[in-house]
Structure 1
């Protein structure tokens, strides 16, 4: 696979994702029966991203194509739709999110799209959830999840409206209450400038709003995670089949890049301190893009384990596409399983951990 995709291919990938927002995700053939030793949690539409809620048995799942945000129980595998709902819980933090115009318009309905996710650990089992949102507005929507309640409550608290040039993909919190978000493809005037560097990472703070992270201009930045101390960003570059480690707030700026044998979508911290990058594989770039929304015998769902210190990579999952599951976008270690999300189907795959 040639890791040097032209910008046109980046735009094609984005158009595939955007068109899939309008696609109704149907129940897969064969119901929810296992695929060999791979089991499924069904009824979660287009779970593009997954993130664990700290100190709990819950995982948050996004709903990219006509779905919703769900909470998934890691013990009994039940799912609860938490947003949008008929009567959403709201507690607008106008001090932190002063520029937010207010809650999401309930008229969005099936136009609501939840993309990337992140959780900031809080106290007393109340945590902050960040959701990359597409719909009537492009934004990062902010919620609180309270796991003391049974089932947990999910409360909208604010938002940050994306800059005119941005349509965000992934988000991750940084120390101090802010967050960073990836913009794979600039929009509007100047969108084509920068050669193969089609996008960048933005950082948001309550005092300054959005600013571009220095040195983050890159080729299709997708998934993102931040080190606990806030000094390092780990960014998946989907078109380039690479992961970039970029310093934050350090002089001089430092940047390292490693190659992967597939196109990495989301990246996620794991309980053991490693990073999992998940994404799409195939015989060539065009074939990978073609197979994002259909079953192809030569396409695969992949996971790489990455050491954040050495950047050493281990390819731990290569799951052939099939009618039950394809186009994996995220990987999360849950006990002795690796859970895989997808943009296209109504399920989460429970893949045996190696």
Structure 2
């Protein structure tokens, strides 16, 4: 999700993904310790790890950082060790001028945060990482990731600027290098989120294009997380305004194929999980301590973000949109404002738009 904190950098909020007001800080985790609590274990030392991706065929995760001085982290899922990937003393830049010739150069690392992530395998040890970047510019920043050594190595190779400096939320990629990004708010404010009006859309860029173009037919209420099918024929969007996951045909114009019903939580980022299912997570609409989010009405966003809410994670069969519950949690004082879930072997990993940690727990079978 996305939130704009002018002194806290940009990020996309969770439950309804929103724009933060200047100077406001949402509910944050208790940073006094990193011990297991409430059934969750933690990796601490991050700053607002809003999105996570797994590097295929490795023990490594990559985390975004949309606040602070580190924009990209790596976590070893076996040892739970944390690494600062970008920027770091080893940071390198080597622009791919053939593909990203219109990019004005590498980002200002003194004014750079990241949001949504996507990773695509190039060869056995080589991957391309796409990151929604904020700071001096709004762009999809592109990195080469190599895991031939004892930790991932990152090289910045290019960028694609968003149109008119619009703030993107999430990014997905196709095999040919085409990018699909969600832009949640275009000429609207957060107060329009639950009014049933299309506040944003998906934009597409392919190598050789001058810039992103809107994908006609994807205008929906707060387009948030996005993912593509393995064959590229479909893509899936988390609509935080309509509170559902939607499947589109990847043709022009896009065609809505199917969707879930309205969920009991506000979905944020989307990932592929086990057994060919999509996974997503977010804060619950009903919460006994924080109250009920009133849909189709204006709401107090600061009150929403400052109260630790319970959260939920689900898996979705993409052809039928059948839902299976992965986790349903009470509010955690140490970890709140959940934005996503990764399903890895025997563990679930959770990201958050605020706080200093990611959470993980052993997978339990539940419906």
Partner of 1:186: 186
Partner of 2:83: 80
- For 1:24 and 1:321, the matched residues in 2 are separated by 14
Following superposition, the deviation at residue 201 of structure 1 comes to: 0.2
| Structure 2: runs of 5 or more not aligned | 1-12, 287-291
- For 1:288 and 1:303, the matched residues in 2 are separated by 24
Following superposition, the deviation at residue 181 of structure 1 comes to: 0.4
| Structure 1: runs of 5 or more not aligned | 1-8
Q: What secondary structure sits across from 2:268 in the alignment? A: strand
Computed over aligned residues only, the root mean square deviation of the Cα atoms, in angstroms, reads 2.7
Distance change >3 Å, CA 251–CA 222, structure 1 → 2: closer
- Structure 1 residue 127 and structure 2 residue 130: aligned? no
Distance change >3 Å, CA 346–CA 252, structure 1 → 2: closer
The answer to whether the Cα contact below 8 Å between 1:167 and 1:183 also exists between their aligned partners in 2 is: yes
Following superposition, the deviation at residue 86 of structure 1 comes to: 4.0
Q: What secondary structure sits across from 1:164 in the alignment? A: helix
TM-score, L = length of structure 2: 0.84
Runs of 4+ in 1 over 3 A off after TM superposition: 22-27, 286-293
Distance change >3 Å, CA 161–CA 250, structure 1 → 2: closer
Partner of 1:322: 332
Distance change >3 Å, CA 24–CA 276, structure 1 → 2: closer
Following superposition, the deviation at residue 340 of structure 1 comes to: 0.5
- For 1:199 and 1:151, the matched residues in 2 are separated by 38
The answer to whether the Cα contact below 8 Å between 1:65 and 1:343 also exists between their aligned partners in 2 is: no
Q: Deviations over 1:130-175 (max 9, x none)?
A: 0001100000000011011222210100000110162100001113
Partner of 2:203: 202
Q: What secondary structure sits across from 1:48 in the alignment? A: coil
Partner of 1:231: 233
The answer to whether the Cα contact below 8 Å between 2:146 and 2:152 also exists between their aligned partners in 1 is: yes
The answer to whether the Cα contact below 8 Å between 2:217 and 2:253 also exists between their aligned partners in 1 is: no
Distance change >3 Å, CA 100–CA 229, structure 1 → 2: same
Distance change >3 Å, CA 340–CA 195, structure 1 → 2: closer
Distance change >3 Å, CA 24–CA 221, structure 1 → 2: closer
Q: Deviations over 1:296-331 (max 9, x none)?
A: 4xx212111100111101232121122111111010
Partner of 2:62: 60
Q: What secondary structure sits across from 2:175 in the alignment? A: coil
Distance change >3 Å, CA 152–CA 256, structure 1 → 2: same
* Aligned partner of 2:106 among 82, 103, 113: 103
Distance change >3 Å, CA 195–CA 343, structure 1 → 2: closer
Following superposition, the deviation at residue 124 of structure 1 comes to: 3.0
Following superposition, the deviation at residue 280 of structure 1 comes to: 1.1
- For 1:63 and 1:292, the matched residues in 2 are separated by 22
Following superposition, the deviation at residue 85 of structure 1 comes to: 2.1
Match runs of 1:251-270 below 5 Å: 253-258=255-260, 259-270=262-273
Q: What secondary structure sits across from 1:302 in the alignment? A: strand
- For 2:353 and 2:117, the matched residues in 1 are separated by 14
Q: Which moved more, 1:310-319 or 1:55-64?
A: 310-319
- For 1:236 and 1:313, the matched residues in 2 are separated by 14
- For 1:38 and 1:288, the matched residues in 2 are separated by 29
